[in-house]
Structure 1
Amino acid sequence: MASLRGAAAPSPAPRAGDLVITQVSLGGFDATVKARDLADFLETEVGQVWRCRVKTSCTPPDAYPDFLLPAVAPAAGQPLHYDRVPPHAFVHFARPEAARRAADAAGRSELILSRKPLRAASAPDSSLRASRRRSVTPFRFTDSRLEVGDLTAPDAFIAAWRGPDAGLEFSVDPFDGSCRFVFTRDTAFAYPEYPQAAVVMRCDVKLEFPVRDVAEVRVFQLDSSLLLRLCSTPQVYYRTADDDIYESVPFDLLDDDDPWIRTTDITPSGAIGRCGVYRLTFSRRFWPKMERALAYMKERRVEIIECRGGWGSRRGLTVRDEPEYGERMQDLFFCVQHAEGLKFPVLFLVNALVHKGVINQHQLTPEFFGLLQKREDEVNLAALREFWGDKCPVFDACRRLKNLQDRVARNPKLLRKKIGDENSEVRRLVITPTRAYCLPPEVERSNRVIRHYREVADRFLRVTFMDEGMQQLNSNVLHFSAAQIVKDLMSKSIPHKTTVYKRVKTFLTEGFHMCGRKYSFLAFSSNQLRDRSAWFFAEDRTRTVESIRTWMGRFTSKNVAKHAARMGQCFSSTYATVVMQPHEVDECLEEVEHNGYIFSDGIGKITPDLAMEVAKTLQLTDNPPSAYQIRYAGFKGVIAVWQGENDGIRLSLRTSMRKFESAHTVLEVVSWTKFQPGFLNRQIITLLSSLNVSDAIFSQMQEAMLCNLNNILSDTDVAFDVVTTSCADQGNTAALMLSAGFSPGTEPHLKAMLLAIRSSQLLGLLEKTRIFVPKGRWLMGCLDELGILEQGQCFIRASSPSLNNCLVKHGPRFSSANKNAETIVGTVVMAKNPCLHPGDVRILEAVDVPELHHLVDCLVFPRKGERPHANEASGSDLDGDLYFVTWDEKLIPPGKKSWNPMDYTPAEAKQLPRQVVQHVSSTIPAI
C-alpha cells in the first residue's frame, strides 16, 4: 500500500498545556509479529516510532492475583471460560502528526499489516507533560537488591522479606517526585468460583511512594547500600508483563496507556504492610548517580544520614532474618491478639504503637509486657498515649515505657479525666490496602446506640477504609478497566474489581479479629459514608449485631442505600435532652402540599416550654434557640418554636420526618440556630458571576478580608472585629481577652489564638475561596406555619455579633443585655451548597412580619406558591439544611430576578424484591 505520510498536513507546534496525541494503541496483527517489525512497518507508513511495546496478555476477568500461590501451572488446568487476549501494542511516535495519521488510517481500515487491518485507540495528553518527561531524567539503579524489614537498633536491621535476586530496578524520579521499586515475577491468578483453577502469568510489580514519605535515608558506602525509613507504606501495583519491546531513543517517555492495577501486600509474611524500613543494595558503579539522587532528596527535605561502615558487626550494620522469616502471616494485619494480664484498652494502645511504627513487633518482649502488668491500667493508658505521640522510632522500648510510667505516677494530672454523659470515647481503626492502624481513643459527642450500650461502649469500633498515606480511597483503587484497545478487541468494557476491593469486602462480610475480639460490621451514618467509614461491634454472649439492629428500630425500606442510611441515623452525633411521653407527641401533623411538592418537608413544631426545657439541658437558656435539628425515635428533621394549642401536645412531627419505626423516646438534638457568619465559596462566586455580579466586587471583598487578617496582631480594634463578626463561637475567648485589655501582639495565648484564626481563614480562602461577607449569614431553613408570607418572600431576623454573645457563654452574670437581633428588609440572595446551576441562586424579598419575630437566625420560607423555595435551591428541604443569605446590595444580581430553577425530581429508587437483610452489601458501592 502507499505510504500515509502525506495524508495530513503538519499541524502547528503545540503550545504548553495543549492536548496532543503521541501514543497510539494498536491491535489486529498476528501473534508472530515482533515489536521491531511493527515499528519498522509504522515508520514506513506513518512516521518515526520511539517505542513499541507488544503484549499478548492482560489480567484475566473475574480473577484475582494470589501472590501466595506457587507460580507454577496448576494441575487443574486453566478455566475453560478464560479467553486469551489478542496481540496488541502500545506505540509512542516522535511527532503528534504521525500518531494522528496512524489513528486516522486505522479508523479508515487503511493501516494494513500482513493483509490484516489494524485497529487503533488513542488518548490525548498534555504536550507540556510529554516534553517535560523527555527532559527530566530519573535516577535509575538496575539490578539492585531489596530487603524489607525493621530496625531493632540504629545499627541492626532485621529482614522480613527479600525481593528477587535479579532484575529489580530502583528509581528516584524528579518528574513526579516519586520513588519506585519495579521487578517482574510469575503470578498465579485465582478464580473464586473455581478454587482448584488458576492461571499463571508473568507480571510486572511496582512499589511506589512519594519522596516526601521518606523520613530518613541511612547511607552505608562500604557495601553500597541504603536504608530508607518510610512514613507510610508504598502503593503496590501490578500489570501483566510485555512480550517484546523496541526502543529507539535513550530518554524517558510517558508511561503507556496500559494501566497499572492496585493490589494488596505481595509478601507471604505481610512485610510491606507491617515493616517500614527498606534496605537497597546496588552496584558500586552507580555511586556518582546515587550521590545526585541523594542530593535531590535532600533538597526535598529528606534527612540523609551518613553511616560509617556497611554490613557486618565490624562495619557498623548488623543484618539478620526475623525468627519467622518466610512464614505466612495469619492475621489480615499484624495485631497482638492476647497478652496475659492486660485488658483490652491497654492492648489496643500497644497495637497502636506498633502500627504507627514507634516500636516494632520484635520489641514486644516479656520484659515489655511485664512492665505493663505491674502498673495500674490508668497509669498504663496515660503512659502509652504519651508514648504514641513520639514521632521517631524508639529502640529501647522498655526504658521509654518505664520512664513514662514513672512520670505519670508522679503527675496524677496526666491521667485521663472522666468524660461526661454527652460524650463517649471512640476507638478507630484505619484499614489501607496493605495494613491497618489502631488509633488511640478520642472523646467525641455520643450517639443513641453508644449511650444505650454504655457499659460495652469499648466494643464499638469505628473503621475507616483509606489509601496508603492516609489518602482518600477512590474508585480507581477498588476497580480497574483494561486498556481501551483490549476492550475494543475483546468487545468487553466491564470494570474489574481489584484485590483491594476483595480485601474491603472480606472485612465487611466476614469481620476481623482485633485484640482477642471478633468484630463484625454493624452500620454506618451519612457522614461516615462520605468518609468511607463504618461502625463495627465485637459481640459478647448477650449482645450481638442483630440484637443491636433490632433495638435500633424496624427498617422496612427495600432500597439498599436508604436502608443503610436509616440505620446510620441512630449513629448521628447528638445531645440527649428530654424524655418524651407518648401523649405529648403528635406524630401526624398535617403536611403542606401543593402541585406535587411538600412545602413542609422535614419540619415540625415544638412548644416554647419544651424548647426552654431542651435549652436548659443544653445550657442555652441565656440565648435559647428558635429551632433545633433533631432525632426522635425514627424521625429526623427540624422543629421550630411555635405556640401550642393548650392540648398537652408539646412536640408535633410530620410524616415526611418519619424514616423508620422505633420505640426510642429521648429527644436528641444535632444542632440549633445560632449566629453563623456568612462566607462565600467558589461555587456561589461562580454562579453570582454568571448572573452578572462584577468580579471586581469579589476582589474588593477578598482584599478587605486579607487586610483585616494581616492587621489582626497590630490593631486591637481590627482583631476584635474579626473575632466577633467572622468566628462565631470559636472567637469567644479571644474576644473576652481583647475586651479586657490584653494586647494581641504581646500576650502569648491571645497571639496564638489570633494566629490560628488567621491561618484557618487563609486556608479556607486558599482552598475554597471562602470570602467573609459582613452582611451575610448561614441560616437554618424553617416554614411560615401561619401562612403570612407570599411566594417570593422570606423572613430573616439575624442575631448581631457583639461582645454580649461572647459573654453569655461564660454565665449570665457577665451579660448586660439580651440578644441583639436585626430584622432584614429588602432584596436578598439565597443559596445552598452544593449549588451548580444559576437557578440554584434564589433572589427573594425579605419582609418584616411581627408575628415571626421569635424566629431568630432562621430563614423562614412561605408555605404558599407553585414550588417551595427551598426545593428550588439545589433541591433541598427543611430537615436541617443551612442556607447562605446575603443582603449586601453589591452581591445582588443587577436584574434582581432568579433564573428558572433546575428540576430536582429524583429518579425512582431501585427497590429489591425482598427485605434488605444483607446490610454489608449497601456499603460496598458507596466506598
Structure 2
Amino acid sequence: MNKIPLHFGNQVSGDSFSVLWKLEDVSGKFDFENKNLCFIFSHLSVKYKFEISFENIWKIELYLPRGQATNFLLIQLLGAPRIYVKDVSDVGRYEWVREVDFTPSRCIGQSYALCLELPKKRRLQKLHLDFFHYQENKNQFRLIEGSPYSFSSVLVPIVNPPTGFDLPYKILFKINSLIQHGCVPGPAIVDDFYRLVDPKKIKFENMIESALDKLFHLKDCCYEPVKWLMEEYKRYAASTRFQKTPAISLDDGLVYIHRVQITPSKVYFGGPEVSLSNRVLRRYPEDIDNFLRVSFVDEDLDKIHSITLAPRSSSANEDKRTRVYDRILSTLRNGIVIGDKKFEFLAFSSSQVRENSVWMFASRPGLTAADIREWMGDFRDIRNVAKYGARLGQSFGSSRETVSVGIDEIKVIPDVEIKKGQVTYCFSDGIGKISEELARKVATKLPCSSVPSAFQIRHGGYKGVVALDPTSSVKLSLRKSMCKYKSDNTKLDVLAWSKFQPCFLNRQIIILLSNLGVKDRAFLKRQREAIDQLNAILIDPLGAQEALEMMFAGEISKVLKEMLICGYKPDAEPFLSMMLQTFRASKLMDMRLRTRIFVPNGRALMGCLDETRTLEYGQVFLQVSRFSRELSNFICEGKVVVAKNPCLHPGDVRVLEAVNVPVLHHMVDCVVFPQKGKRPHPNECSGSDLDGDTYFVSWDLDLIPPRQIEPMEYIAAPTKQADHDVTIEEVEEYFTDYMVNDNLGIIDNAHVVFADSEPRKAMSPKCMELAKLHSIAVDFPKTGIVAEIPDYLHVKEYPDFMEKPNKKSYISKSVIGKLFREVKDIALPTSPAESFTLDLAKQHYDPEMEVDGFEDYLSDAFKYKSDYDYKLRNMMEYYGIQTEAEILSGNVLKMSKHFDRKRDVDAIKYAVKSLRMEARNWFNEGSDADNITDNAKAKASAWYHVTYHHTYWGRRYAEETQGMDRAHFLSFPWCIYDKLLQIKKDKKSKSGFWFCVIFLIFAFLVPIVLWLSLSGFFGGLILVFYRYL
C-alpha cells in the first residue's frame, strides 16, 4: 500500500468515523511473517514509522460502499502503535528510535482506530485468514471531522466533567476507564452523559456504578452511551429485585486499589482491584482512594525494554535518552491529575521497581506524600540513592498485621560473622528469633492451623525472618543485619511463614544439575512420572487426591479433595471434572514453557539458622510435614541438593548432608543451615541470605550431582555515596534509570542459550561471565552499579524450547530440548474444560441431593446464584480469564495483557476467596453457621438444584445480561461444599442402613424357610407364600 491517506480517530457509529489527525502519503505493509502492520511516512521533514502487532488489532472491517470513490479499511486497535523516528545524527548511518505521540493534542493517544482510504481497484489478500474478527460490508461509510476530547494534553485520554458537575472520584475514574478501554467513544461523553452519572442530578444514584460496570462488560463498543444509560435506568425502575453492587465484600487484610498503566502514547485506568494490604495502607485506611498504583508499560502492554528508553548507539555512560524516558521521568515529577486529585510520587517496593511500577499519593490538607514518608521512618543516614529508594519501599511489601511488640519486648542480639581476608561473611544475615508464646499469638492472628517454625517479618525498620526458639523468654530477638533504618512503628507485619510447599525443578536448576553430572534419564523419568500422574487424575480418584495434596494447596484444593473422599468420580461430576482438567492443563503448560517438573522427594523451604551451634559446615537439618495431617513429619537424613533461584553458576548448587538433630525438632518446613564453617551455605547459593529466601531442597538420589565446583564469590560492589541528603527527585531519576539499565531478563535468556549451545555448557567462559553480570544486575536496585553486557554475549540464535517464532532457532540437543519435545504436543495452550451444556445438565443432575423442603428455598437460591455468577463473570472479563475453573483454582492459562500471570494471580485468588466467603455469608444469614440443620440442608439442596437442574440451565435475570455473553457456572453451590457433602453422606448412610436391614432380614429368614420347606406340604405353602412376597 503506497501513497494512501491514513486517518487516526474513533468510530462513533456504525457508518461514521471521527477523524482527529490525517496523513496523506503513507506507505503501509501487512507483514504476515512477523505478525505486524507497518506504516512509514514523512511529517514536517522528519521520517517516522508506526508498528502495530497483530495482537494489538481487535477488529478489521473493509467497507466497500456503492457509489463512493474509495473503499475504507477500518482497523480497530487495542492499543496505540509503536512510534519510531529516524535518527540520522550519526554520519553515514541511521537508527529507528522510539518516540512518543508527536501530534497536536496527542491525537494518536486519543484514537482507538485508524482508517485507510484505498482505491477501488486495490485488493487485499489473506486478511480473513489472519484476523478472526475480519468482515466486509457494502454499507455507506463517512469520515467526519472530530475534535480532541481529552482534558489532559500530556497523559491522554483523561476526561474531566464540564463546569457544573462535581462527580465523585470513583465514578470519574470508571468513566475514564470506559473510554481508555474502547468501551465507549471519547466524543460520545457529552454533557447529557455526565448528567446521567451525577449522583446529585438523578434518583438512581446507588445504581450509577453498577450501570457503568455493566457498560464496561458489554460485548461491543457502545456508540450511544446516553441512550443506553437511560434504557438501563428504566430497567432498574421496572425491576422488583434489589440491584446489587458489582463490588465483592472483602476479607480482612484486603483492600481495593486503583491502578494506572502509562504507555509511550496512552494511559489506561484499571480497578479498583483486590490487593493484600501493606503497612502504609493500614495506617491510612480513610485515604485508600488517595493511593494509586502506577505502572509504565509498552503500547502492547509488554514490559518496556531498555532500548525503548536509550538508543542502541548510546552506552551506559552516555546520557542519550529517548523522549519515552523523558515522558516517564516527567510523569514521576509532575504527577497525574484525575478530577480534583493530583497524584504525586510516593515510593516503590522492591518487587515494583522490577515491574516498572510505583505508588503515588494525592495529597490533601493535613497529609502529603512527604508526610507519609516521614511517618515510615528516618532515612537520613542512607546516602546511596538506590538503597534509599529500596528502604522507602520496605513498608509497601504486601503483608498481614498481627500484634504490637514494644521496644522493651525486643532484644538486639549480635550477628554471627567470620572474616576471611578482606571479606566478612555473616552467617546470621537477615534472621532473628521469636519466642514460642509470641509465635502462638502471631499464628492465631494470621490465622494458621499450627504454629509455623519461621515468619518473614517487618517490624519498624527491621526486615527478615524470625525463627521459633522454644528456650527464649524474649518476644523478639533481632540482629543488626536486619535493621535497615530507624522507625517507631511497633506493629509486627508478616509477609510469609514456613509451611508445606511442593518442590519443582526449573530450567536453571536442570541446566546446572546436568552440567554437574546428573543423567538426562533422571529428568526425563521425573517428567514422565509427573505426566502419568496428571493423566491419572482425570480417571483415578485416589490418584487425583494424591496429586492435589502434593501439588496444589489452597481452599479450592480442599474442596476437590473432600469431594473425592466423599466418593465423587473425577470423570463423572462436572464441577470436579472441569477443575481437575484445568489443573492438569496448567501443570502441563508449566512443563512446556518453564520446564517446571514436580519432584516428590523435595520441598521449597524457607532458610533458617542453627541457633544451637550443633550443625557443622556441610550439614543441614531438614524436617518436613507430609501432605496429609495423618502422617507424621519426615526427618531427612543423607545427602541433599540445595539451590536458590535464580542460579546461573554451577557452584550455586550445593550438596550437603542432612542430619538428625533432636534439639532442632521444633523446626519444621524450613532448611536449617549451620553457623560454622569457612562461609555461610546460603551465601554459596547464589549469594543468598536468610531474610526470607526460599530454597530448592531435594533428597531424590537420582538428582544428587556426583560432583561439585567451588561457589562463586558474591561480593557486592562498593556503593556510591552522596555528599548530601538524598532527595526525592534523585529517587525518581534512579527509578527511570533502573528501567534503562534493567537487563536481568537479557542476561537470564543469554545464559539459557549459551548453556545450551556452548561445548562446556554452563561452565563455558560465556556463561561464567553472565553469572557475574547477573550478580551485579541483581544488586543494582541496592547499589546503582550497572551490569554492562558486551556485544559477544548478545544472542544471535535460540534453541527451539525457547519458542521464539520470529527469531532464528535450532533444535536443542540438551536435556531441556528433550524434555520440551516430549511435552509440547500434549501441553494445550487453552483450557480443555468443556462448558456445562444443557445435555450435561440432564445427564449429571444428582437426585440424591434433593432434601425435603428444598423447593421453599429455590427463589432465594436463584437470586443468590445470579448475584454470584454476575460478580464472578465480571471478574473473569476484567482479568481476561476464559473459564470458571481457571479463575477459581488460580491455574490461569491465559489472561488479558493488562495483567501478568505470575504477578497478579495472588490478587485473583484473594478476590475469589472473598467472593466465596460472601456467598457463605449469604447462606448463613439468619441461621447457625456451625450447625447443619434440616433447614440448612434444604437450603443447600436448593443451591445445588438451581445450579445443576436442567430447568435452570442458562437462566438468569434478563436485566443483568442485556448485551452480554454469559456462560452457565457451576461453582456457586460448592461455596458451601461442607453442606452438600453432608447431604451426600447422609443419603449414602441411609441407603447403607436399609441395605444392612434387608440383608439381615434375608439372612434370618432364609434358614427358617429352608427348614420349613423340609417339613412337607405346610412348608411348601410357606415357601410359595415367601416367594410371592
Higher-strand-fraction structure: 1
1:660 is matched with 485
Structure 1 residue 479 corresponds to structure 2 residue 310 = yes
CA contact (8 A) 1:644 1:650 kept: no
How far off is 1:171 after superposition? Answer: 1.1
Displacement of 1:665: 0.5
1:376 CA displacement: 5.7
Given residue 142 of structure 2, which amino acid in structure 1 is its aligned partner?
A: T
Contact (CA 8 Å) 1:602, 1:656: kept in 2 or not?
yes
Structure 1 residues 513 and 413: alpha-carbon distance in aligned structure 2, compared to 1, 3 A threshold: closer
Corresponding residue number in structure 1 for 2:577? 751
Match of 2:758 in 1: none
Superposition pairs for residues 192-231 of structure 1, below 5 Å? 202-222=45-65, 223-231=70-78
Give a deviation string over 1:859-883, Cα, whole Å, max 9, x none: 0001111100000000000000000
Letter in 1 for 2:78: C
Output aligned runs, 1:705-716, within 5 Å.
705-716=530-541
1:508 aligns with 2:339: no
Question: Are residues 261 and 887 of structure 1, via their aligned partners in 2, closer, same or farther at CA, if it must alter by over 3 Å?
Answer: same
Relative to 1, partners in 2 of residues 1:277 and 1:665: Cα closer, same or farther, differing over 3 Å? same
* Residues 561 and 329 (structure 1), Cα distance of their counterparts in 2 relative to 1, 3 Å cut: closer
SS at structure 2 position matched to 1:282:
strand
Q: Distance in 2 between matches of 1:493 and 1:570?
A: 33
Q: Quote the Cα distance in structure 2 between the aligned partners of 1:732 and 1:324.
A: 54
Deviation at 1:299, TM superposition (A): 1.6
Compared CA separation, residues 877 and 576, structure 1 to 2 (3 A): same
Counterpart Cα distance in 1 of 2:405 and 2:243: 41
Relative to structure 1, the CA distance from residue 783 to residue 858 in structure 2 (aligned partners, 3 Å threshold; closer, same or farther) is same
Q: Secondary structure at the match of 1:497?
A: coil
Alignment of 1:42-81 (within 5 A): none
1:183 aligned residue (12, 28, 41) = 41
Q: TM-score, normalised by structure 1?
A: 0.75
Distance 2:290 2:578 in 1: 38
Given that 2:329 and 2:736 are in contact with CA atoms closer than 8 Å, whether structure 1 keeps it comes out as yes
Runs of 4 or more off by more than 6 Å in structure 1?
Answer: 241-244
Residue type at the aligned position of 1:280: L
Partner of 1:422: 253
> % of aligned pairs identical?
37
After the TM superposition, which of the residue ranges 232-241 and 649-658 deviates more from structure 2?
Answer: 232-241
2:89 & 2:435 partners in 1: Cα distance? 73
Q: C-alpha offsets along residues 554-591 of structure 1, whole Å, 9 cap, x if unaligned?
A: 11211111100100001010000001122111134454
Q: Which amino acid aligns with 1:908?
A: P
Cα separation, partners in 2 of 1:411 and 1:681, compared to 1, 3 Å: farther
Task: Report if the CA contact (8 A) 2:152-2:159 is conserved.
Answer: no
Name the CA distance, whole Å, in 2 between partners of 1:754 and 1:399.
Answer: 44
Q: 1:642 to 1:404 in 2, by over 3 A?
A: farther
**Secondary structure in 2 matching 1:272:** coil
Contact 1:214 1:229 in 2 (8 A): yes
Distance 2:152 2:369 in 1: 28
> Are the counterparts in 1 of residues 9 and 112 from structure 2 also a CA contact under 8 Å?
yes
Q: Is the 8 A contact 2:641 2:653 kept in 1?
A: yes
Contact 1:589 1:604 in 2 (8 A): no
- State the partner residue of 1:233: 80
Aligned counterparts of 2:415 and 2:5: Cα–Cα separation in 1: 74
What secondary structure is seen at the aligned counterpart in 1 of 2:105? coil
Q: d(CA) in 2 for partners of 1:180 and 1:156?
A: 25
SS of the equivalent of 1:844 reads strand
2:101 aligned with 1:265, yes or no? yes
1:922 lines up with 2:922 in the alignment:
no
2:9 matched to which residue of 1? 149
* Residue 888 (1) aligns with residue 700 (2): yes
Q: Secondary structure at the match of 1:205?
A: strand
Match of 2:30 in 1: 172
- The question of whether the paired residues in 2 share the 8 Å contact of 1:509 and 1:920 is answered with yes
Inter-partner Cα distance in structure 1 for 2:513 and 2:63? 60
Instruction: Name the CA shift for 1:329/1:170 in 2 (closer, same or farther; >3 Å).
Output: farther
Counterpart residue number, 1:333: 156
Superposition pairs of residues 604-753 of structure 1, within 5 angstroms: 604-620=432-448, 622-646=449-473, 649-729=474-554, 731-753=557-579
| Aligned equivalents of 1:558, 1:472: Cα separation in 2 | 30
Match of 2:596 in 1: 770
Question: Following the alignment from structure 2 to structure 1, what is the Cα–Cα distance between the partners of residues 544 and 263?
Answer: 43
TM-score (normalizing by structure 2): 0.68
Partner of residue 369 from structure 2, selected from 538, 545, 551? 545
User: What are the superposed Cα offsets for residues 413-468 of structure 1, whole Å, 9 maximum, x if unpaired?
Assistant: 44424434411111100000001000021111101111111111110000000001
Task: Give 1:324 deviation, angstroms.
Answer: 4.9
1:308 corresponds, among 135, 138, 160, to 138
Cα deviations by residue, 1:229-271 (Å, 9 ceiling, x for unpaired): 1122110111047999xxxxxxxxxxx9732111111211222
1:641 corresponds to which letter in structure 2?
L
* 1:413-452 matches, cutoff 5 A: 413-452=244-283
The answer (yes or no) to whether the contact 1:378–1:416 under 8 Å persists in 2 is no
Looking at structure 2, the residues matched to 397 and 820 of structure 1 have their Cα atoms a distance apart, in angstroms, of 62
What is aligned with 1:12?
A: none
Pairing 1:98-137 to 2, within 5 Å after superposition: none
CA contact (8 A) 1:268 1:329 kept: no
Are the equivalent residues in 1 in contact too, given 2:236–2:243 (CA < 8 A)? Answer: no
From 722, 729, 732, the equivalent of 1:912 is 722
Deviations 1:840-896 (A, max 9, x none): 00000000111111110010001111100000000000000000000000001124x
Partner SS, residue 168 of structure 1:
strand
Give the match for residue 129 of structure 2. 299
Once the two structures are superposed, what CA deviation does each residue of 1:703-746 show, in whole Å capped at 9, x if it has no partner? 11122222321222221121111113362222222112222223
1: CA distance between counterparts of 2:90 and 2:289? Answer: 54
- Please point out which of 582, 591, 611 is paired with 1:785: 611
CA drift at 1:384 = 2.3
Shift of 1:329: 6.2
Q: 1:329 to 1:631 in 2, by over 3 A?
A: closer
How far the C-alpha of 1:218 sits from its partner, in A, is: 1.5
Q: How many residues align?
A: 720
Alpha-carbon deviation of 1:412?
4.2
Secondary structure in 1 matching 2:122: helix
**Runs of 5+ unmatched residues, structure 1:** 1-140, 187-201, 245-255, 310-315, 805-816
> Which runs of 5 or more structure 2 residues have no equivalent in the other structure?
740-1029
2:22 partner amino acid = R
DSSP 3-state at the match of 2:351: helix
What is the alpha-carbon distance in structure 2 between the residues aligned to residue 713 and residue 529 of structure 1?
41
SS in 2 for 1:605: strand
CA separation of 1:375/1:664 partners in 2, compared to 1, >3 Å: closer, same or farther? farther
Aligned to 2:810: none
Provide the rounded CA distance (Å) in 1 between the counterparts of 2:88 and 2:434: 67
Contact 2:151 2:159 (8 Å CA) reproduced: no
Instruction: Supply the distance in 1 between the matched residues of 2:712 and 2:203 (Cα, whole angstroms).
Output: 65
Kindly provide the CA deviation profile for residues 15-54 of structure 1, in whole angstroms up to 9, marking residues without a partner as x.
Answer: xxxxxxxxxxxxxxxxxxxxxxxxxxxxxxxxxxxxxxxx
Shift of 1:407: 5.8
Q: 1:851–1:378: structure 2 CA closer, same or farther, 3 Å change rule?
A: farther
Summarize the Cα distance change of 1:210–1:324 in structure 2 as closer, same or farther, 3 Å threshold. Answer: closer
Give me the CA root mean square deviation: 2.3
